[in-house]
Amino acid sequence: MSHDDFAVEPIKGLPERPPEGEEILWQGSPSVPALAREALNVNWVIGYFALLAVWRFITVSDLMPLGQALGATVPMVLLGAVVVGLLYLIALIQARATVYTITNARVAMRIGAALTLTLNLPYRQLGNAGLDLRKSGTGTIVLETTGKTKLSYLVIWPHARPWRFTQPQPALRCIPDAQNVATILATAAEAKISVPQIKRTAPLAAVAAE
């Protein structure tokens, strides 16, 4: 029997229904191959085990026939294949558990494979955003939050800008069609921030009496 761990969500990717007037503009998840490459460094792992296999072959090729020398490299190749497969599995699990949502009021990130949480980032809590675009069209949008927003790098990884430990920056990692998504985000944020905020104050008559 299949089971959906997120069946309790009233709307995919959000823990509750958006308030009246809030509209979902885009939803998406990381690309599995891109996440494996950029967040889990799978290409470096492939290169590392390839180097080990070549080194193993060179060191034994003078001591045994060619066929046996090639056979001696097989364990390295198999070990490398297992490690790479595990990394792709981790990337798949992370991608399936992740939903990024852009609305006209905020960016929401449902993240976490083992411990699921949802980050709500209103546009007024975002200082800036940057796009790291790849040739394939996938890319990462980094969100620079204001000082009031406290985040843990370990909690939000891999959905964070790499190597920013003291001031973690959440990121929409390895999303397809990243240029278009960045445009949607920029347009929504600009429209929201330009709306004047009306705060309740004392009645004008009371102010005049003072």
How many residues in the chain?
210
pLDDT, one tens digit per residue, over 44-62 is 999 999 999 888 888 887 7
Q: Which of 93, 98, 102, 166 is nearest to 129 (CA)?
A: 102
Task: Tell me the DSSP string of 100-162.
Answer: EEEESSEEEEEE-SSS-EEEEEEGGGEEEEEEEE-TTS-EEEEEEE-TT----HHHHTTSB-T
The answer, as to whether pTM is greater than 0.85, is no
What token pair was written down for 191? 């429209």
For 5, other C-beta atoms within 10 Å of its C-beta total 10
pLDDT, one tens digit per residue, over 6-38 is 456 778 888 888 888 899 999 999 999 999 999
pLDDT at 12: 87
